[in-house]
Amino acid sequence: MNGNPLSNSNLSFFFHSNTQQGAAKKVLQVLQKPNVPTELQYKFALDLIMLDAYETVESWMTTKSLNPRKLIPAMMRYSSEPHAKNETHEVIKYLEYCVHRLQNEDPGIHNLLLSLYTKKEDESALLSFLECKFGKGQPGGPEFFYDPKYALRLCLKEKRMRACVHIYSMMSMHEEAVALALQVDPELAMAETDKVEDDEDLRKKLWLMIAKHAIEQEKGTKRENIRKAIAFLKETDDLLKIEDILPFFPDFALIDDFKASSTSVVLHCFK
């Protein structure tokens, strides 16, 4: 291109011709010029990111006038293509830039980033995203900008169970959070129960769920299981009593066993 200004139609022809030839860098260089309408960025976003995702995203991150929401269709199409596991996901990189650097609050951007995190086998990025309070600087504002129900559906579909536990808890669905956590990690279930601070009846109900699960999972002798159950009661800060967990054992002729185990535990504590 020479230094003479071109009409939108001429620019479109130039961009179309060069993308057809695979010359993504050449198109991106022209798009960076100040006299080129921003709308052309959106028009050729899909062609460019499919040709050269790295250079396209680098260009987007240096173009201050872009509205990331208008790039969502191109990003979704690119993300639907298979990518190598060790390959840097350029759309995730750009979305993270929008969310963390630009502090973008668009729910569409946050939902897309979350959906891409759910596809990753490693849940760490997803969990960090869910736990991040993006709206913390706004008094009375939302702590997050994604749709929690949408997030829950995605995480259930992709079997990201720790993320599901977090979302249930965030939505105050504590029974669902603990029930699912018990399938993943009993320690996680206990941690979720401890989050309920102002409702003793609910705390007790959650601890009973954990106790029932723990007793049903034990494979030791009856006496060993009872000893473990009594030790477990201490974890509940005296919220549960022996009589609360008796129904979870296979029979009720256990009073002598409990007495013997209780004495053993007490003696052990004073050794």
What are 38-86's pLDDT values in tens digits? Answer: 999 999 999 999 999 999 999 999 999 999 999 999 999 999 988 777 6
Report d(CA 89, CA 82) in Å as an integer: 11
- Residue 86's CB: how many other CB atoms inside 10 A? 5
Would you say residue 270 has pLDDT above 50?
no
pLDDT tier, 206 (very low <50, low <70, confident <90, very high otherwise): very high
Predicted local distance difference test score (pLDDT) of residue 7: 66
Q: d(Cα 260, Cα 226) in Å, to the nearest integer?
A: 10
What are the structure tokens assigned to 100, written together? 């963390």
Kindly report the pTM of this predicted structure. Answer: 0.84
What percent of the chain has a predicted confidence (pLDDT) above 70? 85
Long-range Cβ contacts of 141-145 (<8 Å, 24+ apart): 144/110, 145/105, 145/106, 145/107, 145/109, 145/110
